[in-house]
Amino acid sequence: MASNQTANKGDLAARRSLAWRIILPVPLTIILAIGLIWATVPRIVASMAMNDAGLANQQVATEFKTIRAYYSEYVVNKVVKGGVFTATHDHKSNENAIPVPATFVHDLSAALRDNDTTVQLYSPFPYPDRRDRKLDEFQQQAWDYLRANPDGTYSRTEARGGHTMVRVAVADKMAGQSCINCHNSDPNSPKRDWKLGDVRGVLEVASVIDAQLAHGATLSHLMVAGAGIIGLLLFGITLVVARGVTQPLTGMVRDMRKLAAGDFQVVLPGRGRAAAGPTKSVPWRKRSSCSRPRPSSRRVMRASRKRPANAAQQPRARPSSGRSPMVSRPRSAMW
């Protein structure tokens, strides 16, 4: 009795060991996949959101520069030449004044301030009405970089006011002779020796990417949930398959142990198939005569070769027995 209990415990332990060897890789793989998704997808989505925002900000800066150039060339020059209107930064209090191109950009940026994208134009050489403006760390670094690299782009991602922002800065250059003449002739201009192509200031475009980051977090959660559901399904399928494999193997091991212990009453798998039904044998009398073996053609040919050529003409000799002699007949006539 004790030996049977010990054998059963051993069978159970072997069965669990084999089942765990089959099942264990599945949950480990699922956990690893979920961990990789949780660790990599949010970073990838955040990086893509920052790159997309940076490219979009560069496009907005290019559009603003194009609009300002168009405004300066086809609006300010035509209006000022008529002599009725003047271009000044203090245009709101004067009905006969229009904003200069830089003020035009400042007014547009103020109108967009309530949106997630803002535009700023600043310079270390501000006009007197904006002299109290101080450049922050990013703006000062952008000015230093763009002054040395006028065709470059300076960008950074930072948190401001509880929001994640992507700030992109490009150089604002003196692109037209009319702008140079206006700045060099204005008595309020802080600098009067501008040349064509000089970096006048910095045009910055900043955008909030909180919505993109939230979308990335939602996507990560959905991917983790999907991986978990798929993992549970695979785990269940693997568990069913493992049970179907381990149960017959465990029974075979148990029977083999009984045989090794001298118990020959064990019914082995497949043994009962041979005794399930006797095969029906055909009686010998009912067999066809065609089933009897016939001499092969090779034997007939060999026998014909051994017979002499004149065997048909030679009579068969019979032993004399006192009876009247009989005329011998050829073999062919006897047949």
Q: Report all structural domains of the chain as residue ranges with CATH numbers, in order of start.
A: 53-210 (3.30.450)
Pair of tokens at residue 310: 């004149």
Q: What pLDDT shows up at residue 106? A: 86
Q: pLDDT tens-digit profile of 56-102?
A: 999 999 999 999 889 988 888 888 888 888 888 778 888 888 988 88
Q: What pLDDT shows up at residue 60? A: 92
Distance of CA 177 to the CA centre of its chain: 54
The 3-state DSSP class for residue 263 equals: coil
Q: What pLDDT shows up at residue 335? A: 37
**Largest CA-CA distance found in the chain, in angstroms, rounded:** 174
49, 209 contact by CB (below 8 A): yes
The whole-angstrom separation of Cα 244 and Cα 261 is 27
Q: What pLDDT shows up at residue 311? A: 46
List of the chain residues with pLDDT < 50: 1-3, 7, 273-276, 278-291, 300, 309, 311-314, 317, 319-335
The whole-angstrom separation of Cα 21 and Cα 157 is 48
152, 145 contact by CB (below 8 A): yes
The whole-angstrom separation of Cα 202 and Cα 252 is 83
Is 100 exposed, middle or buried (CB count within 10 Å of its CB: 0-12, 13-18, 19+)? buried
Q: CB under 8 Å to 197, separation ≥6 — which residues? A: 150, 173, 174, 175
The whole-angstrom separation of Cα 311 and Cα 73 is 136
CA distances from 149 to 144, 152, 166, 172 (A): 9, 5, 20, 12
Helices (H) and strands (E) in the chain, counts: 10, 6
Q: CB under 8 Å to 149, separation ≥6 — which residues? A: 171
Q: Closest Cα to residue 153, out of 60, 66, 46?
A: 60
77, 178 contact by CB (below 8 A): yes
pTM: 0.61
